[in-house]
Amino acid sequence: MAASFKLAVAVTWALVLATTACQGLEVGYYKKTCPRVEHIVRDEVKKFVYKNAGIGAGLIRMLFHDCFVQGCDGSVLLDPTQANPQPEKLSAPNFPSLRGFEVIDAAKDAVEKACPGVVSCADIVAFAARDAAYFLSRFNVKIDMPAGRLDGRVSNASEALDNLPPPVFNVTDLITSFAAKGLGVEDMVVLSGAHTVGRSHCSSFVSDRLAVPSDINAGFANFLRRRCPANPAPANDPTVNQDIVTPNALDNQYYKNVRAHKVLFTSDAALLTTPATAKMVGDNAKIPGWWEGKFKKAFVKMSQIEVKTSNQGEIRKYCRAVNTK
């Protein structure tokens, strides 16, 4: 009963959030005030991603980690200060693994030269994630990203721990976590497909996937054991590709890996544990273009979580710090 009540509350909040998520956002939001902003951001993203595909994966992950904590407001970008020594970026889910901050800095600098004081850092994060998906998908995932977000002034490491679903979550936990942000079961399954790019530290999966019995493919488990220490520590915590087949391509290979039990996290394997989510995995794996189309919609939906209104946010001059009066 307690679990059912928790899920019911989460779904109720999801309906509330869904009615307010799109407030003030529109495609082409800056067409009059900063008409070249999306081209400027894309050019900066392209420079970094073509040098290192992992940065692209980091930018996609950055939007997810930003939006699930305080909404899509650039709060994940804020550096520690004397007044706030533990912002989101220093929380365990983000530090030291979250990447791409230098891309946002470069894009913000270029945008400020063209249109000072007009474009929020939160919108730059959304544009950069969108562009990373475009390049990593070999131009197959082309997203019309609405804009008009404002930058938040609050960033707290403990909120990241409270809101970001960890890799040990089961399917019920995942559904509840995503529902609390206005995202449905299919959104959760589709957005999980972003695990087709990027790398993970061994410490994120060794203890619950390799050290105890699990559904993981035996050959894949042995492959991981050769690359990961039995007891990863900060000084000895290597990374491995989340998708060993097409590690730098944003494609549907992730779902083929899920079906083959060749995924890193408990939360990935959990997608096979209910008939509904298992069917979604199968459709995404087997039907050409199916996942890409659904990813575009889910990605935009995620980018609209808890957008700040004018009295809650600002347009930062510098993405790593709130404006000073």
Q: Give the whole-angstrom CA distance, residue 150 versus residue 117.
A: 12
Q: Minimal CA–CA distance to 109: which of 310, 316, 314? A: 316
| Six-digit token string for 62 | 């950055």
Which residue of the set 39, 65, 195, 261 is catalytic? 65
Q: Give the whole-angstrom CA distance, residue 33 versus residue 30.
A: 5
Q: For the chain, percent helix, then strand, then coil, each to nearest 5?
A: 50, 5, 45
Active-site annotation holds for 65:
yes
CB of 94 closer than 8 Å to CB of 88: yes
Q: Minimal CA–CA distance to 60: which of 107, 108, 130, 149? A: 130
Q: Minimal CA–CA distance to 268: which of 177, 179, 196? A: 196
How open is the CA angle 267-269-273, to the nearest 5 degrees?
100
| Six-digit token string for 229 | 């220490």
Kindly give the residue spans of alpha helices, DSSP state H, lying in the chain.
2-20, 37-51, 53-67, 101-114, 121-136, 157-163, 171-179, 185-192, 218-227, 253-259, 266-269, 275-286, 290-302
Burial class from Cβ neighbours inside 10 Å (0-12, 13-18, 19+) for residue 62 reads: buried
Q: Give the whole-angstrom CA distance, residue 216 versus residue 209.
A: 7
Give me the active site residues, please: 65
